[in-house]
Amino acid sequence: MLDKQLIVGVYDDGDNLLSAVKKLRKKGVEIFDCYTPYPVHHLDVEMGVKRSNLTVGAFLCGMMGFFSGLLLQFYMMTNHLHTFKSWPMIIGGKPQDYTMVPSMVPVTFELTILFTAFGIGILFFAKSKMIHGKIAEIIDPRQTDDLLFLAVEPEELSKISRSELDSVMNENGAIEIRERNMDGVEVPAKVEERVEKAEKAEEVELSQEEQTERLSLIKSVLGEASVEGKDDLKKISGVGPVYEEKLNSIGIYTFEQVSKLTPESIKAIEELTKYFPGRIEREDWIGQAKNLMG
């Protein structure tokens, strides 16, 4: 899957993705798959996914549990199956034959449910080819986080021209259209690379001069502020109490300062505070700070 050729539309809203899928299907285009961080209502129907017959599997598992429960109790408590090897267990003079069926109800019931639940669980994992430790086949690390992806195979281009495909995706709010493994187009960084990058950033220890150099850069870009005019930086989503302290320690106290961040100063902050690279941009602190000021 990781080396599969795909044309991928990137969306940030489920409704947009859904309407794009509808339009494409109307034009006869088959959708390879969609990858979404949450279940988009009705997407499976619009994609033309055949209703799974897992329900039948669940029923069969349930029946298996039901009969296992009955068999178990007839085997152990009665002699109808000729299973009393030495002596019957008579407890409180209660009967040892089919008349104890009412007593069998609870255990039979519980086993029916147990078999149904675990049967369908196992069937689901098998059908979806999921198992512990499997490496996920993802086309972008954000497909489980905040972006939705609509993937079409290049073979579908026989039914629709490339420019038309792009325009349908764009008209329905695609924020980006990517090509995957096609003509050497760059594939977004895999998780492993991001991990390496983050770890590298953590390893860098700054010398005294480098620290002062970066502090003065921050001061010159953002201007000075002090504890007196302090804003509650924790209001920026992504800043916690610990990180707020770190920001204060390098002279950042106000939303106004945050709103003035430039790429160089962001890099300096990341190096000084050992923050995850790229997260300040990703979480749009500048925009957030502007909102909080206004």
Site residues (CB under 8 A) for another protein, limited to 219-258: 237-238, 240-242
Which of 6, 9, 10, 14 touches another protein by CB under 8 A? 14
Does residue 93 belong to the site contacting another protein (CB under 8 A)?
no
Cα 198 to Cα 184: distance, rounded to the nearest angstrom? 26
278: which residues sit within 8 A by CB, 6+ positions away? none
Taking contact as CB under 8 A, which single stretch among the options 85-93, 163-171, 174-182, 254-262 is the one that binds another protein? 85-93
Cβ proximity to another protein: between 49 and 182 the closer is: 49
Cβ proximity to another protein: between 12 and 256 the closer is: 12
> 140 is written with which tokens?
């972008």
Binding characters for another protein, 144-183, by CB under 8 A (x = yes): xxxx------------------------------------
- Name the β-bridge partners of 177: 9
Does residue 48 belong to the site contacting another protein (CB under 8 A)?
no
Q: Are strands 6-11 and 176-180 parallel, antiparallel or unpaired?
A: antiparallel
Shortest Cβ distance from residue 82 to another protein (Å)?
Answer: 11
164: which residues sit within 8 A by CB, 6+ positions away? 27
Q: Note whether 37 and 141 are within 8 A (CB).
A: no
Does residue 82 belong to the site contacting another protein (CB under 8 A)?
no
Shortest Cβ distance from residue 292 to another protein (Å)?
Answer: 13
Does residue 100 belong to the site contacting another protein (CB under 8 A)?
yes
Which of 72, 160, 177, 217 touches another protein by CB under 8 A? 72
Cβ proximity to another protein: between 123 and 222 the closer is: 123
* 7, 21, 138, 231, 264 from 169: Cα distances, Å: 11, 9, 21, 42, 35
Cα 21 to Cα 139: distance, rounded to the nearest angstrom? 18
Does residue 193 belong to the site contacting another protein (CB under 8 A)?
no
Which of 26, 27, 30, 52 touches another protein by CB under 8 A? 52
Instruction: Give, as one character, the DSSP assignment of residue 135.
Output: P
CB neighbours of residue 199 within 10 Å: 9
Does residue 92 belong to the site contacting another protein (CB under 8 A)?
yes
Does residue 73 belong to the site contacting another protein (CB under 8 A)?
yes
Does residue 107 belong to the site contacting another protein (CB under 8 A)?
yes
Quickly list H helices, 188-250: 191-203, 208-222, 241-249
Cβ proximity to another protein: between 134 and 205 the closer is: 134
Separation of CA 8 from chain center: 18
What is the three-state SS of 171-201? HCCCCEEEEECCCCCCCCCCHHHHHHHHHHH
Cβ proximity to another protein: between 52 and 220 the closer is: 52
> 102 is written with which tokens?
């009412």
Which of 6, 10, 116, 253 touches another protein by CB under 8 A? 116
Cα 19 to Cα 237: distance, rounded to the nearest angstrom? 30
Does residue 36 belong to the site contacting another protein (CB under 8 A)?
yes
Cα four-point dihedral sign 57, 59, 62, 67: negative
Taking contact as CB under 8 A, which single stretch among the options 22-30, 98-106, 223-231, 252-260 is the one that binds another protein? 98-106
Taking contact as CB under 8 A, which single stretch among the options 53-61, 161-169, 171-179, 212-220 is the one that binds another protein? 53-61
Does residue 265 belong to the site contacting another protein (CB under 8 A)?
no
